[in-house]
Chain A
Amino acid sequence: MHLADAAPVLGQVEIRDRSEASCISENKLCPGWIVDNFDRYTDPLAQHLYLTVTSVVIGFVIAFALALIARRRRWLVGPIVGFTGVLYTLPSLAVFFLLLPITGRGSTTAIIALTAYTLQIIFRNIVLGLQNVPEEARDAGRGVGLTDRQLLWRVELPLAIPDIVAGLRIATTSTVGLATLAVFAGAGGLGEQIISGSNITFKTGVVAAGGLAVLLAFALDVILLGVQRVLTPWRRVQPA
């Protein structure tokens, strides 16, 4: 795909208003057009949200399982961090096409690649969160007669929530960014609107789609932060 010149996109774009026509043909930034044509973005946005949330949720489940396994077997942490690190390093675009022979084009391929990318940061943060539990709370927990499982679910995990959510936030914002590439795997998303039918010189389109992605990332981040605050009432009080 070589883009030698920036051809106007009149032909590819719907124009609902006469005054917009000149704005578009001169390829300037036209907010009015964005508002009028917003329905263009609703499906890609929904798809983008779907890809992001699915990937992060599956990534969380896998990373959580790995963290529970590694909890009693410290020696596993290094290798898992290493392996998930490799997954993190591989560029998502490459992964889409490495998976192509196996899973073909579409959402599944995109989700597998995006999930793999989230594993390391979520895993590390869960492990870190569990490690950061104050030792005396653990000692007291065992001392009052909590079984190992009860200790994990009633003491360690609640106290690890801030670190875990921090990892989820990083994973989510990164995934929103990466999911723009999902279009190359045939999975749609906002990236579809950025490259806007093989023409990425459409300024308004680029700003609209890119801006929506950033807003989505921001919104999800705030939601996660809100969830954390709801789950951790003890952190909201003033210390003595």
Chain B
Amino acid sequence: MIEIAGVVSDFGDALDFIFSTREAQTGGVEVGGLSEVWEFTWEHLKVSFAAIGVACAIAVPVGLALGHAGKGELLAISLSNVGRAVPSLALIAFFVAYIGVGFTNVMLALVLLAIPPILTNTYVGVRQVDREVIDAGKGMGLRPHQVVQRIELPLALSSIFGGIRTSAVNVVATATIAPLAGVLTLGDYILSANVYGPDGRLAGAMLVAVLALTVELVFAAIQRAVEPRGLQTTT
């Protein structure tokens, strides 16, 4: 009983940290409170979505092109497998060691992380478009880029967003360790617990969890929304 009470009070303290400021454990500055939480959250979202944006700009066109041409299946599938095996920590560390710290560098590392699921899902999504529909399009006189634009892209949209959704969750999770590279996201609360204290650390964990879930839910909703009416099958 006492244990449960202890746990509950720990979480209560963490919530308190989010809403009110207090002195840092290392002394001197004020930490905690909503405005600081918002600052870190905003940084977290910025670096994440910048990375996702760039990754989409690269992966979606490439995926569409490969899928349309029917080439590069091995690449598209293997990329995801290899991407899964590379630890995010190693990726960030690698970039810091070889390129240095800073927003852009972290963002680039996250872009590399984000590309595989988007590329694979785009490729697979295009390949799964019914051949007959494409033939009909060609028969109507659509040129290749029009086939991509008007047929393959809309029909593959749900699959593409599935890939973006997976990447988004991965990127947001990995952005938690961005502070190692000088970009202060919500992960700072966790990684610099000596400054923020155990309350700050737990608060950081809660905030990151909530943020990740929110991003997942938003993208799940978008994925369902872009599903063409006739093909409703999103899980």
Contact = CB atoms under 8 A, between A and B. Distances in A.
Nearest to B165: A89
**6 residue pairs, one from A and one from B, having the closest CB atoms:** A210-B90, A91-B173, A217-B85, A97-B205, A180-B87, A94-B208
Contacts of A206: 90, 93-94, 97
Given A3-B181, A93-B208, A203-B98, 14 more contacts: A1-B191, A86-B213, A93-B176, A94-B212, A98-B205, A98-B209, A101-B7, A174-B84, A180-B89, A181-B89, A194-B87, A201-B97, A210-B93, A214-B90
Interface in A1-16: 1-4, 6
Q: Which of A91, A173, A184, A194 has the most CB of B within 10 A?
A: A91
Contact of A191 (B89, B201, B235): B89
A51 interface: no
A178 interface: yes
A6 B209 CA distance: 31
A224 interface: no
A177 B88 contact: yes
A97 B177 contact: no
Nearest to A216: B85
A173 B10 CA distance: 34
B53 interface: no
A19 B91 CA distance: 28
A213 interface: yes
Give the dominant DSSP class at A's interface: helix
Contacts of B179: 1-2
Nearest to A2: B182
A94 B176 contact: yes
Nearest to A100: B202
A195 interface: yes
B27 interface: no
A190 to B, nearest CB: 8
Interface string A72-102: 0000000001000110011111111110111
A90 B89 contact: no
B187 A93 contact: yes
A159 interface: no
Residue in A170, A200, A209 with the greatest tally of chain B CB atoms within 10 Å: A200
A176 interface: yes
Interface in A95-149: 95-98, 100-102
A10 to B, nearest CB: 15
A3 B182 contact: yes
B169 interface: yes
B204 interface: yes
Nearest to A202: B97
Nearest to A212: B90
A207 interface: yes
Contacts, number: 143
B100 A91 contact: no
A203 B86 CA distance: 16
A103 B89 CA distance: 24
Given A173-B85, A194-B90, A210-B87, A6 B97 contact: yes
B11 interface: yes
Interface in B161-182: 169, 172-174, 176-177, 179-182
Most chain A CB within a 10 A radius of its CB, from B85, B169, B181, B182: B85
Interface in A61-77: none
B20 interface: no
B104 to A, nearest CB: 15
B166 to A, nearest CB: 10
A180 B92 CA distance: 12
Nearest to A214: B85
Contacts of B208: 91, 93-94
B62 interface: no
